[in-house]
Structure 1
Amino acid sequence: MGKKSESACLKLPASARLVVPVMAAAGGSGRSTVAHLLATAMAPFAETVVADLSPRLGSPWPAWTADAQAEGLAAIPPDQPLTRDAIRHAAAVRQSDSARWSVLTDTREWHAAPLNLPSDPAAWYQLAAAGGWQVLLADTAHLAAHDLIESRCSGAPSLTQAWCGLPFTVPVLCAQSSAAGIQSLQQAVMVLHAEGLPLQRTVVALSAAADGRLPAIAKAAATMLSARMAAVVHLPHDADIRTHGLSAQPARIRARTRQAARELATAVLAAAHDAYDDPLPDALQPATRPHPAA
C-alpha cells in the first residue's frame, strides 16, 4: 500500500464531488475491473456512477447491463435539457454488499449505429453532476502516455490533461504487475511527469495476472513510485473475476480482493483530501430542468 492508505474512508459531504478517471498506458491493464472494484468500494461513502467511454462492441459494460432494464446513453440526447430522473433512468444499477452504484453505458443491441458521444471530459463531469452523483468513475478508452505524446507533437488537446484538469480529480493509473506491464507503467509515469501532470494526487493500481507472490519487478516499481505518487495499491489475482469479468458475483469475490478494493478507495479519498482539503469543499451544482407540471 502507499503512504496515504492509513486514512479512514469517510462519507463525502452531500455538496462535494470527486472525479476519478481510470486510465492506462496500454491495453489489458485492467481498467474496467479496477473501475468495477473501485465503484463497489466507493458506493458506501458516496453516490457513485461509472461512465463507460469505450465503443460499445469493445466494452464489457453493455453485456453486463443487458438484463438491467436501463435505457442507456441513447436515452440522453446531447442537445436537449434533461431532468435528473431522466439521467438516472438511463443508468444501470449494481447492488453491492452494502450499497448501490450506477453505470452509464450504451445498452442497445450490437447492430445499432454507434452513438456520437462527447469526448470532452467536462461533458461527462456535467452529466454526472446533473444526475446527482457525487463520484464519477470514468472507465477511459484512450492510451494515456500515447495521448500525451500525440498532443505534444500535434498541438491537439489531450484527453489525459483534460481529465486531470477537472475540479476535484484523482486519476487512477492501471497496470499489470508483469514485466511488460511495469515497463509500460514506468514509461507512462515519465511522460506524465514531463507534461507536468499531478503525480502527487495520482494513485497506481497494480493488478496481479496470477496467484502467487508479487514479482520482484513489481515490488521494486512500487517502492520507486511510492515516493512520487499518492499511493500504489496491489490488486490480487481473483479467479472469479478472471473467469466472469464484470459479471462476477460480489459474494464470490475473494475477501482479499474486497480488502484491496477498500484500500484503493481509501487511497483515492486520501489523495483527494490531501489535494483539496478535508472535508472536500462544496462543488458547483449545475442547473437541471424542473419536472413538468402535472
Structure 2
Amino acid sequence: MGLGASAPAGIPESARLVVPVLAASGGSGRSTVACLLADALARLGDTVVADLSARLCSPWPAWTAGTRGGGGLGALPPDRPLSRAEIRDAAAVRQAAEGEWSVLTDGREWSTAPLPLPLPADPAAWYQLAAAGGWQLFVADTAHPVAHDIATAHCAGLPGLTRGWCALPYTVPVLCAQPTAGGVQLLHQAVQVLRHCGGVPLERTVVAFSAASDGALPAVARAAAATLAPHTAAVVHLPHDPDIRAHGLAARPSRIRDRTAEAARDLASAVLSTAHGAFGNPLPPAPRPAPIPWVV
C-alpha cells in the first residue's frame, strides 16, 4: 500500500536520519531517486539533499534554478567557522507536494572559478554540515560507483566512501539500479562485492529500481527483486514518468504523476520503517558530531 492511504508520523526534532543514495554505475537514476525521495520525506521532517557530484556533472543546479534561497556551496566562507544561518541561506529551497525541502549544491555558471570552500570527501564532514544546518533528514546524492569503491578500499585496507557513509549514525542506504538486464547485472555484482568485503549493512539497505521506459517491471528485474528480498530491507519500483523524462525534475511537484509520487512515498516509508526496525521507534536523539574546522 502507498503512503497516500496512511502517512507515517514525522521523526522527532532531536533525531537525524541519514540516507545515502548509492549506485553501482552512472545512469542508474540515482539523482532522480534522491529528488523524489526528498520530496516524499519532506512531510516527515526538515529535509536536505547534499549534491556530491562535480558541478559540471550534476543535474541539481538546473533542478534548483529559480528556486528561493540558494547562495550555494560557493557562498559559504572558506576562512572561518560557519553559522547555522549561513548554511541554511546557502541552500536552495524546493517546494514539495507537502511542505518544502533544501538542496546544498553549487548553482553558479560553468565559467565561475572553482569552489572557494575545500569540500571534503569524508562523509563525516557532510554529516557535520547537515547537523550544523539543523536538518533532520539528510539525503546524500553520492557520486562514486559503489562496487569499485568497496573493492578498491578493501584491497588498500581503507574504509572507503561507501563504508564511511554507512558508518554514520542512523543510516539507511538506498541502492539504485535500472530494471534492465545490464542494470540488474551491475546490481548483482555490487551486492556480491558488498557481501564479500563487508562493512555495508545489506539488511538495512533499500533497493530502488528506477525505470527508464514504460511498462511492467521486466522479468529479469522481478527475478532480481525476489532474490534480493531476503537479504535487503526492501525492494521498491519507481515507474517511468514521461513528464520527468521530458521536463526533468525542475518541474513543479504537480507535474509528477500520481503513481510516481505514490512510489516515492513507498520508498520513503520503506526507509523510515527500516530505520525504526534497526534503531527504534521513535528514532533516538542524534549524537552531536565532532567539530570540523570550517563548521561550528
TM-score range with shorter-chain normalisation?
over 0.9
Q: Secondary structure at the match of 1:148?
A: helix
Q: Please, what TM-score do these two structures have when normalized by structure 2?
A: 0.92
Which amino acid in the other structure matches residue 109 of structure 1?
A: E
* Cα distance, 1:222–1:132 mapped onto 2, change above 3 Å: same
Contact 2:169 2:287 in 1 (8 A): no
Q: Deviations over 1:218-248 (max 9, x none)?
A: 0000011011000000000000111122212
Alignment partners' CA distance in 2, 1:284 and 1:156: 25
**SS in structure 2 at match of 1:206:** strand
Equivalent in 199, 208, 213 of residue 216 of structure 2: 213
Distance in 1, Cα, partners of 2:210 & 2:232 = 17
Deviations, residues 152-175 of structure 1 (Å, cap 9, x unaligned): 222344000000000000000000
Which of the residues 109, 131, 134 maps onto 1:132? 134
Deviation of the 1:286 alpha carbon: 5.6
Matched, 1:200 2:200: no
Which amino acid in structure 1 is aligned with residue 238 of structure 2?
Answer: L
Please name the residue that 2:123 is paired with.
Answer: 121
**In 1, are the aligned partners of 2:207 and 2:234 still within 8 Å (CA)?**
yes
The one of 230, 241, 245 aligned to 1:242: 245
2:176 equivalent to 1:177: no
Distance 1:79 1:229, change over 3 A: farther
C-alpha separation in 2, matches of 1:54 and 1:118:
12
Pairwise CA distance, 1:75:
1.7
1:27 is paired with a residue whose SS is coil
Aligned partner of 1:274 in structure 2 is 277
Q: Is the Cα–Cα contact under 8 Å of residues 95 and 101 in structure 1 kept in the other structure? A: yes
Amino acid paired to 1:46: G
Question: Is the contact between residue 56 and residue 114 of structure 1 (CA under 8 Å) also seen in structure 2?
Answer: no
Aligned counterparts of 1:189 and 1:232: Cα–Cα separation in 2: 13
Counting matched residue pairs gives 284
**Helix, strand or coil at the partner of 1:93:** strand
Please state how far the C-alpha of 1:67 moved relative to its aligned partner: 2.0
1:261 to 2:260 alignment: no
CA contact (8 A) 2:64 2:250 kept: no
C-alpha distance after superposition, 1:185-223 (max 9, x if no partner):
011111111122200110000011211121000000001
Alignment of 1:77-116 (within 5 A): 77-115=77-115, 116=118
8 A Cα contact 1:7 1:266, kept in partner? no
- Aligned match of 1:15: 14
- Give the aligned partner of residue 191 of structure 1: 193
**Inter-partner Cα distance in structure 1 for 2:272 and 2:248:** 25
Q: CA deviation at 1:9?
A: 2.2
Give the deviation of 1:249 after TM superposition. Answer: 2.3
Structure 2 counterpart SS, 1:159: helix
What amino acid maps onto 1:89 in structure 2?
D
Gaps of 5+ in 1: 289-294
User: Which runs of structure 2 are paired with 1:26-175 in the superposition (5 Å)?
Assistant: 26-68=25-67, 69-115=69-115, 116-175=118-177
SS in structure 1 at match of 2:207: strand
Q: Secondary structure at the match of 1:102?
A: strand
Q: Name the residue aligned to 1:292.
A: none
Distance of 1:254 and 1:84 partners within structure 2: 35
Q: Is the 8 A contact 1:130 1:285 kept in 2?
A: no
CA RMSD of aligned residues (A): 1.7
Percent identity, aligned pairs only, is 65
Give SS of 1:87's match: helix
Residue 231 of structure 2 corresponds to residue 232 of structure 1: no
Distance, in Å, in 2 between the alignment partners of 1:285 and 1:101 is 22
Q: Which residues of structure 2 form unaligned runs of 5+?
A: 292-296
Once the two structures are TM-superposed, the CA of residue 97 in structure 1 deviates from its matched residue by 1.9
Give the Å deviation of 1:7: 9.3
CA distance in 1 between counterparts of 2:9 and 2:202 reads 23
Q: Distance in 2 between matches of 1:31 and 1:77?
A: 29
User: How far apart, in 2, do the equivalents of 1:150 and 1:36 lie?
Assistant: 29
